[in-house]
Amino acid sequence: MKISFLLVFLYSLSSFAQQQSNPNIRNQLPTINNPDSILTIRIAAVGDLMCHSPQFRYSHVSKDSFDFVPVFRYINKYLTDADFTMGNLETITAGKENKYSGYPKFNSPDEFISAVKTAGFNLVTTSNNHSLDRGEFGINRTISQLIKNNLNYTGTFTSQKDRDSIRIFNIKGIKTAFLSYSYGTNGNPIPDGKKYLINIIDYDLIQKDITHARQLGAELIIVYYHFGDEYKREPSSIQITTVNRTIEMGADIILGGHPHVLEPAVYFKTHNAKLDTGFAVYSLGNFLSNQRKRYTDGGTILYLNITKNTNTDSLWISSVEFLPTWIYRGQTDHGREYLILPAKNEQDYPFLHQSDKRQRQTSFDDTRYILHKYTSQIHTVK
């Protein structure tokens, strides 16, 4: 009963909110000088990017070569249709010497990271329950591959200095900070004296990081959590508490992953933040994985459109949009493939069987229902 009450209270609050309407800056995107006083940026966010063993077997090209780039061929234009694109990298790349593997302890080919970069991602969050699947070595080598591919990261780090370096990007004139934290590491121990390796959800640490981001000039703060109960389509009491605490700390946007299914979204009244009304989605679900059951085989691209009046220095969410996606696994003219398919113009594909089409449509309908469950102020991309 307590959980139900909290949900009702939070969603009521959200409905009300809808009606009220430096050296540490890494890899800055170039600022575009807009002659007008109004500018809008578009940030795209997706859920978990996973690589189970069937996926790398399907992408195997030769003895020591893999190609994951085709996985994104129908979706990458929707990823690049944004000024900045992010997702959760839920695997590590510890090298072939450590043997490639999927669940329960992941180790993916390096080509998985290069494909994510090629698909149009600007940043991945790396703090999740699989971050330490291959220990400290796995974290460090994964980061080295991200750096090699010029793909920004936050959530796991190589040193205390790296951890304390807040990721802030000047996206077309709006300084945006990205923070990431995980509920845990599946029991894999963090080496003594090296807590900097991964951000674990710690309210004192999160408050410190948000405060630091503001001091560095961040106008928009996005916090991405890895939390919740797997396969549950409603937020847990811990998720609700964590989101509420993060709102109190001054976050503008809160995103979630880990349940491997979509969970509802809400608007909220901010506290000591740049935005007057913020936005949270408890789980963005899977974007890429081998999970084939209903609700796990689909996800979404969430688009956050943020507008700034440069004359008044005010900032607001002009709209939130989403594009449902579904993961196909099967035979095409190119052989055995995994493909992320968009719900755009209900496009048909010659390789889809009737059963595939039914599953795809069910997934798209589920996505729309879940994301509209507690707010109607999220729109399907036209």
pLDDT digit string, tens, across residues 123-141? 999 999 999 999 999 999 9
The residue that leads in pLDDT, 174 or 17, is: 174
Question: Any idea what the CATH number is for the domain that residue 125 is in?
Answer: 3.60.21.10
Backbone angles phi, psi at 304, to 5 degrees: -105, 115
DSSP code at position 190: P
Res 230 pLDDT > 50: yes
pLDDT given for residue 344 in this prediction: 77
According to the model, what pLDDT value does residue 137 have?
Answer: 98
Give the angle 248-224-379 at the CA atoms, nearest 5°: 90
Q: Residue 150 pLDDT more than 80?
A: yes
Task: Return d(Cα 252, Cα 271) in angstroms, integer.
Answer: 9
Rounded to the nearest integer, the mean pLDDT of the chain is 91
Residue 6: its pLDDT value, please? 40
Cα 217 from Cα 274, distance rounded (Å): 11
Q: Which of 83, 77, 75 is nearest to 299 (CA)?
A: 75
- Write out the residue range of the structural domain in which residue 338 sits: 2-380
Torsion of CA 195, 199, 205, 210, to 10 degrees: 140
3-state class of 369 per DSSP? helix
The CA-based diameter of the chain, rounded to the nearest angstrom, is: 59
> pLDDT tens, 345-370?
666 899 999 999 999 999 999 999 99
Give percent of the chain with pLDDT exceeding 70: 90
Give the span between the Cα atoms of 135 and 15, in whole angstroms. 43
Cβ contact 183:140 at 8 Å? no
Task: Return the minimum-mean-pLDDT range out of 3-12, 85-94, 236-245.
Answer: 3-12
For residue 149, the surrounding DSSP H or E stretch is none
> How crowded is the C-beta side of 10, counted as CA atoms within 13 Å?
27
Q: How far is CA 359 from the centre of its chain?
A: 24
- pLDDT tens digits along 287-310: 999 999 999 999 999 999 999 999
Vertex 152: Cα angle to 151 and 154 (nearest 5):
140
Task: Provide the domain count of the chain.
Answer: 1
Rg (CA), the chain: 20
Collapsing DSSP to helix, strand or coil, 247 comes out as: helix
Percent of the chain with pLDDT over 90: 87
pLDDT tens for 234-267 read 999 999 999 999 999 999 999 999 999 999 999 9
At a CB cut-off of 8 Å and minimum separation 6, what does 238 contact? 183, 227, 228
Backbone angles phi, psi at 12, to 5 degrees: -65, -45
- Judged against a pLDDT cut of 90, whether residue 83 lies above it is answered with yes
